[in-house]
Amino acid sequence: MTDCLLAARARVLHDLAARGMDSARTVSIVDDVLTARRWWVEQWPDGHQYVACLVAQDVQEALLETVGRWPLCSLHEVDAEPPHELRVTPDLGPDPQWVCEEHGRVVAPVGALNT
């Protein structure tokens, strides 16, 4: 049970670092999300494969409320295009990916964002 939480933490921290968002504040948010998700994993142990997806979504929502949109899309084709964030797809799945809905493209798996 703890392994899936630690793996999700590592993946999200990698993506935060890749976009220069790995501050003490954001790491604390990740840890708060993991604390909240621990209960979920205890209630549904078979759901361990979905934890990374849920943690990424939870962190994204928490950052929106406190820090701002994350992760921003790096697929801007036009400089005048307004910044927009990536979304985790699927909403609940074992292999979550960061997707640019505006361009209709997968950018990277959760845990594998580049700068």
Contact 56, 110 (CB under 8 A): yes
pTM for this one? 0.91
**For all residues of the chain together, what is the average pLDDT?**
92
Contact 106, 11 (CB under 8 A): no
Sorted by where each begins, the domain ranges of the chain are 2-109
- Does pLDDT of 115 surpass 70? yes
Please report the pLDDT score of residue 79 as a whole number: 63
Place of tokens 């950018």: 107
Coil, helix or strand at residue 96: coil
